[in-house]
Amino acid sequence: MNYRLVFTHSYTRRAARFIRHHPELAGQYGKVLRLLEQDPFHPVLRLHKRKGRLGDLHAVSINIRYRVTLLLLVTEKEIVPVDIGSHDAVYRG
């Protein structure tokens, strides 16, 4: 089952800035994107639903410290990344 990643302009800017500041994570980030396209429910991603005012969003892990927050549109088989950053930055919303 394949999904399609849909990147917004604002997310693309955030991701570019994130990779510029953390070039050592570029490979892991690429792996996360490939896994999301193949199977967003893959256990390695640790997909989980956000709570509170951002409860319609999900998050996946790049590693233990960094997350990608995304809107997961399963019915459309599309995944729209919304934010990327450290655990604390992403969860502050």
Over residues 21-74, the pLDDT tens digits come to 999 999 999 999 999 999 988 999 988 888 887 778 888 988 888 888 776 665
8 A C-beta contact, residue 83 and residue 69: yes
Residue 69 belongs to domain spanning: 4-92
**What CATH number does the domain containing 68 carry?**
3.30.2310.20
Residue 8 half-sphere exposure toward CB, CA atoms < 13 A? 11
3-state helix/strand/coil string of 66-79: EEEEEEEEHHHCEE
Count of domains for the chain: 1
Q: What is the pTM of this model?
A: 0.85
Report the C-alpha dihedral over residues 66, 67, 68, 73, rounded to 10 degrees.
160
How distant is the alpha carbon of residue 29 from its chain centre?
Answer: 9
How much is the pLDDT for 75? 66
